[in-house]
C-alpha cells in the first residue's frame, strides 16, 4: 500500500565500469558512489570477478591458477550468477544504484577477444547465468549504463609497469591487451545506447568531468557535479 503523499520509489540503476587493465576506472567508482549518495541514492559498490564470498573465492582462482579457457569462462559465469542472485538483483529490486567494477563485457573482451574463446559459447553462458526472472519472460540482465575507460594498450602497459605486481591477466603481453581493447570497442559498437566512451588518456579530473557529464545527461547527477570531484 502506498500513501497518497509517498515519494515514488526510484527504479534500480545498474552501472558497470569497463576498460583494459591500467585504464584507471577503479579510482572513479568511489567518487561516483559519493556523488550519487549526495543525491540521496542508496549505492552498492561491487566488483567482478567477485562480489560475494563464493565469487571472491573464484576470483582468487581465476587471477592466480593456470586453467584452460573453458574452465576460465565457466568460473567467470558461475561467480557472476552467484553475484547476480545474492547482491545485484536484490539491490536493484530495492531501487538501489549498483556500481560494478567490470561485468560481462569484460568476459567478451578478455576471454573472447583476448583469449580467443568462442563468443557464441560465451553468449550461451551469458543467457544461462544472467536470466532475470524479475524482468519477465526470458529476459537477461544487462547493465543500464556502461562506462568504458578507453585507453590505448601502450599507455595502459606503461601505467601498469609503474604500478604493481601483475596478476595472471595483467602479465599478458601487449598484443593480448590490443585484442582486449578491440573487444571492448566491438562491444561498444554493438550496444551504443548502453556504452559511454570515456577518453582515459586524459588526467583524472578531466576523465571525471566526462563521466559526470554523461551521468548528468541521463538525469542521474546534477549538471554541476563534474566540477566537484
Ligand atoms: P580488475 O578489475 O583489473 O581488478 P584489479 O584492478 O583489482 O586487479 O579485474 C581483474 C582481472 O580479471 C582483469 O585483468 C580482467 C579479468 N577479468 C576477466 O578476464 N574476465 C571477466 O569476466 C572479468 C569480470 C574480469
Show me where the domains of the chain are located. Answer: 13-220
SS3 18: strand
Q: Which atom of ligand 1 is nearest to the CA of 104?
A: 22
Q: Which atom of ligand 1 is nearest to the CA of 107?
A: 22
What kind and span of H or E run contains 31? helix 26-37
CATH architecture of 13-220: 3-Layer(aba) Sandwich (3.40)
pTM of the model: 0.93
**Could you give the CA distance from residue 139 to residue 58 in angstroms, rounded to a whole number?**
26
Q: What is the mean pLDDT of the chain?
A: 92
Ligand 1 mean position, distance from CA 85 (Å): 20
The residue whose grid cell reads 563485457 is: 105
Calculate ∠ Cα 164-168-174, nearest 5°.
80
Q: What is the per-residue pLDDT across 120-152, written as a single tens digit (0 to 9) for each?
A: 999 999 999 999 888 877 899 999 999 999 999
Residues with CB under 6 A from ligand 1: 21, 26, 48-49, 76, 101-102, 106-107, 110-111, 167, 169-170
Ligand 1 mean position, distance from CA 26 (Å): 11
- What DSSP line would sit under 182-220, residue for residue? HHHHHHHHH-TTTEEEEETTS-HHHHHHHHHHHHHHTTS
Q: What is the per-residue pLDDT across 66-91, written as a single tens digit (0 to 9) for each?
A: 999 999 999 999 999 999 999 999 99
SS3 144: coil
Among protein residues, the one with the nearest Cα to ligand 1's atom 14 is 169
**Could you give the CA distance from residue 154 to residue 134 in angstroms, rounded to a whole number?**
42
The C-alpha cell that represents 227 in the structure block = 566540477
Q: What is the per-residue pLDDT across 187-210, written as a single tens digit (0 to 9) for each?
A: 999 999 999 999 999 999 999 999
Amino acid at each position: 500500500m502506498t500513501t497518497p503523499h509517498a515519494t515514488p520509489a526510484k527504479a534500480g540503476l545498474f552501472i558497470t565500469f569497463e576498460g583494459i587493465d591500467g585504464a584507471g576506472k577503479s579510482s572513479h567508482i568511489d567518487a561516483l558512489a559519493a556523488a550519487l549518495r549526495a543525491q540521496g541514492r542508496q549505492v552498492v559498490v561491487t566488483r567482478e570477478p567477485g562480489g560475494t564470498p563464493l565469487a571472491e573465492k573464484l576470483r582468487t582462482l581465476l587471477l592466480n591458477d593456470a586453467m584452460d579457457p573453458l574452465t576460465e569462462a565457466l568460473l567467470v559465469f558461475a561467480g557472476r550468477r552467484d553475484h547476480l542472485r545474492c547482491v545485484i538483483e536484490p539491490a536493484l529490486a530495492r531501487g538501489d544504484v549498483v556500481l560494478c567494477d567490470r561485468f560481462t563485457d569484460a568476459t567478451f573482451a578478455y576471454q573472447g577477444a583476448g583469449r580467443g574463446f568462442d563468443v557464441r559459447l560465451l553468449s550461451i553462458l551469458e543467457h544461462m547465468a544472467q536470466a532475470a526472472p524479475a524482468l519477465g519472460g526470458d529476459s537477461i540482465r544487462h547493465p543500464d549504463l556502461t562506462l568504458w575507460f578507453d585507453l590505448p594498450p601502450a599507455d595502459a602497459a606503461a601505467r601498469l609497469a609503474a604500478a604493481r605486481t601483475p596478476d595472471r591477466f595483467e602479465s599478458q603481453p601487449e598484443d593480448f591487451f590490443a585484442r582486449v581493447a578491440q573487444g571492448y570497442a566491438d562491444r561498444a559498437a554493438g550496444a551504443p545506447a548502453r556504452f559511454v566512451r570515456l577518453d582515459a588518456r586524459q588526467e583524472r579530473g578531466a576523465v571525471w568531468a566526462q563521466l559526470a557529464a554523461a551521468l548528468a545527461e541521463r538525469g542521474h547527477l546534477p549538471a554541476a557535479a563534474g566540477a566537484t570531484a
